[in-house]
């Protein structure tokens, strides 16, 4: 970051002397006021619930302009990346700062491919869960358990160890997610197959059985790969901030990523596409398209308690750039699988039409977001709703580990310690009757 010529001045109405703070500039986006010395100079903290106006770190990985509907990975627009790259290209980009050349691509793809197997003892660990356990509960445990198997790459001060941990997590996450799914179905685990792509291998581990050969559907493979790309990183969101905060204590990378998985589980974050599909299924069961208008009127009534899932975004105040790409992918998958007349897709299109035409939704910029279509795609592929957030975690792992590693390389890195505005009881003595 670069020091700006401008400075910020904090003045007080009680006549205290004003205080100046330096202002720093990034390459794009808002400048930041450096308030690190605020408490030392004033004895005060800032108050910012949800950290909506607070930059907690310096990062060069992902940039979002919510007003423009823009998402960049290392400076590249998401639409260009989704059209021209596969997921492992994106992983290399996010980890290393630029797209790989042919040699780098071959070496990186091979490295990830040959780290997809997990220790056999993890099978026994997995069998300790109930069969009906939520996949995210299982995944949180499995990811955290990796730290018990890979002691040789947990020195976080060693850049090589951090790189090895990153490769292991990216490579093994599809295996762990597929294992969690197979276990819930009572089916045998399918081991990785090295001649398949990253996404094709995941599909095979998910849906193959020992009874017959499994052939990867190229359209489905491309669609799921795009879902991975669109979810690879998203700046300082709740789960990424959780990974950074957890990792700031010096914990091992597997524990930090497990913390991110746990945070992602929330319905306001990674569980949003699961909630969106549940909304569509409930609407279909209660009248379908014929009831869409009535449903949308209830959404506009704040007293009805009805929420419209999959529309609007906390960051994007314009159209989510990932949503358009996901809509195209949704159409391709449904056509390839002969599901063009899928009632949920028709229902989704009608909801979108109303939201884009009704002044209530237009004025509030409640456009469809990426979750609106990704759930339909995953359902068409055969992925159960309960596994949607685990798929999200699989894709986001590369972003989490890159952010974690970037934090540890930052000379200004410190253990996270948010402050508070205390509103509890003032100091008081224990009653004499209790002494």
Mean pLDDT throughout 285-312? Answer: 88
Query: In the predicted model, is pLDDT for residue 316 greater than 80?
Result: no
> How does residue 162 score in pLDDT terms, banded at 50, 70 and 90?
very high
Query: What is the model's pLDDT at position 141?
Result: 96
Mean pLDDT throughout 191-202? Answer: 97
Do residues 154 and 12 share a domain? no
Question: What's the angle, vertex CA 122, arms to CA 121 and CA 123, rounded to 5?
Answer: 85
Residue 429 counted as domain residue:
no
Do residues 242 and 252 share a domain? yes
Query: What is the model's pLDDT at position 369?
Result: 81
Query: What is the model's pLDDT at position 410?
Result: 93
Query: In the predicted model, is pLDDT for residue 374 greater than 80?
Result: yes
Do residues 102 and 8 share a domain? no
Do residues 257 and 108 share a domain? yes
Mean pLDDT throughout 407-429? Answer: 93
> How does residue 367 score in pLDDT terms, banded at 50, 70 and 90?
confident
pLDDT in tens, 423-432: 999 999 999 8
Q: What is the 3-state secondary structure (H, E, C) of the chain?
A: CEEEEEEEEECCCCCCCCEEEEEEECCCCCCEECCCCHHHHHCCCCCCHHHCCCCCCCCCCEEEECCCCEEEECCEEHHHHHHHCCHHHHHHHHHHCCCCCHHHHHHHHHHHHCCCCCCCHHHHHHCCCCCCCCHHHHHHHHHHHHHHCCHHHCCCCCHHHHHHHHHHHHHHHHHHHHHHHHHHHCCCCCCCCCCCCHHHHHHHHHHCECCECCCCCHHHHHHHHHHHHHCCCCCCCHHHHHHHHHHCCCCCHHHHHHHHHHHHCCCCCCCHHHHHHHHHHHHHHCCHHHHHHHHHHHHHCCCCCCCCCCECCCCCCCCCHHHHHHHHHHHHHHHHCCCCCCHHHHHHHHHHHHHHHCHHHHHCCCCECHHHHHHHHHHHHCCCHHHHHHHHHHHHHHHHHHHHHHHHHCCCCCCCCCCCCCCCCCCCCCCHHHC
Query: What is the model's pLDDT at position 239?
Result: 96
> How does residue 235 score in pLDDT terms, banded at 50, 70 and 90?
very high
Query: In the predicted model, is pLDDT for residue 99 greater than 80?
Result: yes
Cα–Cα distance for residue pair 336/229, rounded to 1 Å: 21
Which of 109, 234, 313, 320 is the catalytic position?
313
Do residues 17 and 29 share a domain? yes
Contacts with 413 (C-beta within 8 Å, 6 or more apart), sequence order: 248, 407
Do residues 96 and 25 share a domain? no
Query: What is the model's pLDDT at position 255?
Result: 96
Encoded tokens for 429:
């003595």
Residue 382 counted as domain residue:
yes
Residue 420 counted as domain residue:
no
> How does residue 101 score in pLDDT terms, banded at 50, 70 and 90?
very high
Do residues 354 and 313 share a domain? yes
The residue among 37, 55, 73 that closes a domain is 55
> In percent, how much of the chain has pLDDT > 90?
74
Mean pLDDT throughout 355-379? Answer: 86
Q: What is the pTM of this model?
A: 0.90
Residue 430 counted as domain residue:
no
Residue 128 counted as domain residue:
yes
What's the domain count of the chain?
A: 2
Which of 371, 410, 412, 429 is the catalytic position?
371
**Domain of 243: which CATH number?**
1.10.580.10
Query: What is the model's pLDDT at position 198?
Result: 98
CB contact at 8 A, 10 and 18: yes
Long-range contacts of 159-168 (CB under 8 A, 24+ apart): 159/409, 162/253, 162/404, 162/405, 162/408, 163/95, 163/405, 165/252, 165/253, 165/254, 165/401, 166/95, 166/253, 166/398, 166/401, 166/402, 166/405, 167/111, 167/112, 167/115, 168/115
The residue among 55, 70, 94 that closes a domain is 55
Query: In the predicted model, is pLDDT for residue 314 greater than 80?
Result: no
Residue 431 counted as domain residue:
no
The residue among 55, 73, 89 that closes a domain is 55
Which domain, by its residues, includes 267? 57-411
Query: What is the model's pLDDT at position 268?
Result: 77
Mean pLDDT throughout 274-283? Answer: 86
Query: What is the model's pLDDT at position 266?
Result: 85
Do residues 287 and 269 share a domain? yes
Query: In the predicted model, is pLDDT for residue 376 greater than 90?
Result: no
Do residues 246 and 377 share a domain? yes
Cα–Cα distance for residue pair 88/128, rounded to 1 Å: 32
Do residues 51 and 69 share a domain? no
Encoded tokens for 29:
């986006």
- Is residue 161 part of the annotated active site? The answer reads no
Residue 223 counted as domain residue:
yes
pLDDT in tens, 118-127: 999 999 999 9
Do residues 112 and 130 share a domain? yes
Residue 144 counted as domain residue:
yes
CB contact at 8 A, 156 and 253: yes
**Domain of 27: which CATH number?**
2.20.28.60
Query: What is the model's pLDDT at position 387?
Result: 94
Angle of helix 238-247 versus helix 253-264 axis, rounded to 10: 150
- Is residue 234 part of the annotated active site? The answer reads no
Do residues 50 and 76 share a domain? no
Mean pLDDT throughout 394-412? Answer: 96
Cα–Cα distance for residue pair 239/343, rounded to 1 Å: 33
């Amino acid at each position: 970051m670069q020091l700006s010529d401008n400075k910020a001045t904090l003045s007080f109405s009680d006549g205290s002397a004003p205080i100046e703070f330096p202002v720093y500039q990034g390459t794009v986006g808002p400048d930041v006021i450096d308030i690190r010395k605020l408490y030392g100079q004033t004895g005060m903290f800032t108050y910012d619930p949800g950290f909506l106006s607070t930059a907690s770190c310096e990062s060069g990985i992902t940039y979002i302009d919510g007003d423009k509907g823009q998402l960049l990975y290392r400076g590249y627009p998401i639409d260009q990346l989704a059209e021209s790259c596969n997921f492992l290209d994106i992983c290399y980009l996010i980890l290393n700062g630029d797209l790989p050349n042919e040699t780098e691509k071959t070496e990186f793809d091979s490295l990830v491919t040959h780290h997809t197997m997990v220790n056999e003892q993890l099978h026994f660990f997995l069998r300790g869960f109930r069969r009906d356990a939520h996949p995210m509960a299982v995944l949180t445990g499995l990811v955290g358990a990796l730290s018990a198997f890979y002691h040789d790459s947990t020195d976080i001060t060693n850049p090589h160890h951090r790189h090895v941990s990153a490769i292991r997590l990216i490579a093994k996450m599809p295996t762990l997610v597929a294992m969690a799914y197979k276990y819930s179905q009572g089916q045998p685990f399918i081991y990785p197959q090295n001649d398949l792509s990253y996404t094709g291998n995941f599909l095979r581990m998910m849906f193959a059985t020992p009874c017959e050969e499994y052939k990867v559907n190229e359209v489905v493979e491309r669609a799921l790969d795009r879902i991975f790309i669109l979810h690879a990183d998203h700046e300082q969101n709740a789960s990424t901030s959780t990974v950074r905060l957890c990792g700031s204590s010096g914990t091992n990378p597997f524990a930090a990523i497990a913390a991110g998985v746990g945070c992602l589980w929330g319905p306001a974050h990674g569980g949003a596409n699961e909630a969106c599909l549940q909304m569509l299924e409930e609407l279909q069961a209660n009248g379908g398209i014929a009831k869409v208008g009535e449903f949308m009127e209830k959404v506009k009534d704040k007293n009805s308690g009805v929420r419209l899932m999959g529309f609007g975004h906390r960051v994007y105040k314009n159209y989510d750039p990932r949503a358009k790409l996901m809509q195209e992918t949704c159409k391709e998958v449904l056509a390839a699988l002969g599901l063009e007349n899928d009632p949920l897709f028709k229902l989704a299109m009608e909801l979108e039409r109303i939201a884009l035409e009704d002044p209530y939704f237009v004025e509030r910029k409640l456009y469809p977001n990426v979750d609106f279509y990704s759930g339909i795609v995953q359902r068409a592929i055969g992925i159960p709703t309960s596994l949607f957030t685990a798929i999200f975690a699989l894709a986001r792992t590369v972003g989490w580990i890159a952010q974690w590693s970037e934090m540890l390389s930052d000379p200004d890195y410190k253990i996270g310690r948010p402050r508070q505005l205390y509103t509890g009881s003032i100091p008081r003595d224990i009653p004499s009757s209790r002494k």
